[in-house]
Amino acid sequence: MGNIFSGSEIVELGIQIENNGKDFYEALISQTKNHRAKEIFQYLSQEEGKHIAVFKKILDSVHKYEPPESYPGEYFAYMAALASDCVFTQKDKGIEMARNVSSDKEAVEMGIGFEKDSILLYQGMKRVVPEYDHKTVEELVAQEQMHLRQLSDLKKNL
């Protein structure tokens, strides 16, 4: 089996996820009437923008990197399986998903799911980026975990 994804393609998936997340949260800002939800969606949109910039820097370092594998294509097949379950890897999906939200609670629940998907994908991404980028990816995971906590807290208060 050949490579399903290269390291750079996986990082590009991260960029697409963050773009969709940014679009999703920006669309929710105008939809919500809840002041606290609006503040959190604004914050998360800005954070996603920062993550896009970080991934673009990482992208420059992964073009030729190949992770150690038990058999050719092993890790890239794993990442393809993760990505296929992650809704936000599809272009323009963030805006589409936000349009279909019927309540703040539903929006927050969707955000929680997207943050969980991102965490899982980014944890897997560590094996396809050079070791010197591991700390950066770990920091992104930690930030996504913080976003998950913020959304969980918001959900309790809705």
Domain count across the chain = 1
* Residue 85 to residue 51: CA distance in whole angstroms: 21
Q: Nearest 5°: phi and psi at 130?
A: -60, 155
* Residue 2 to residue 85: CA distance in whole angstroms: 21
The DSSP 8-state label assigned to residue 132 in this structure reads G
pLDDT of res. 43: 94
How many CB atoms are closer than 10 A to CB 92? 11
- Find out whether 107 and 98 touch, Cβ atoms under 8 Å: yes
Domain assignment present for 24: yes
pLDDT of res. 3: 39
pLDDT of res. 87: 59
pLDDT of res. 60: 74
Domain assignment present for 1: no
- The CA angle 99-104-110, to the nearest 5 degrees, is 65
pLDDT of res. 156: 93
CATH classification at residue 129: 1.20.1260.10
Domain assignment present for 113: yes
The DSSP 8-state label assigned to residue 67 in this structure reads -
* Residue 53 to residue 136: CA distance in whole angstroms: 12
In the chain the first and final C-alpha atoms are separated, in Å, by: 48
Instruction: Look at residues 117, 54, 108, 113 and name the one whose alpha carbon lies nearest to residue 84.
Output: 117
Domain assignment present for 71: yes
Per-residue model confidence as pLDDT tens for the chain (158 residues): 333 455 677 777 788 888 989 999 999 999 998 999 999 999 999 999 998 998 888 777 765 556 666 766 676 677 667 666 665 667 788 888 899 999 999 999 999 998 998 898 888 877 777 777 788 888 889 988 999 999 999 999 88
pLDDT of res. 4: 42
Look-up: residue for tokens 């590009």? Answer: 12
Domain assignment present for 2: no
Look-up: residue for tokens 């800005």? Answer: 46
pTM over 0.75: yes
Give the domain range for residue 118. 7-157
Instruction: Look at residues 153, 142, 122 and name the one whose alpha carbon lies nearest to residue 58.
Output: 122
Domain assignment present for 25: yes
Look-up: residue for tokens 């963050």? Answer: 18
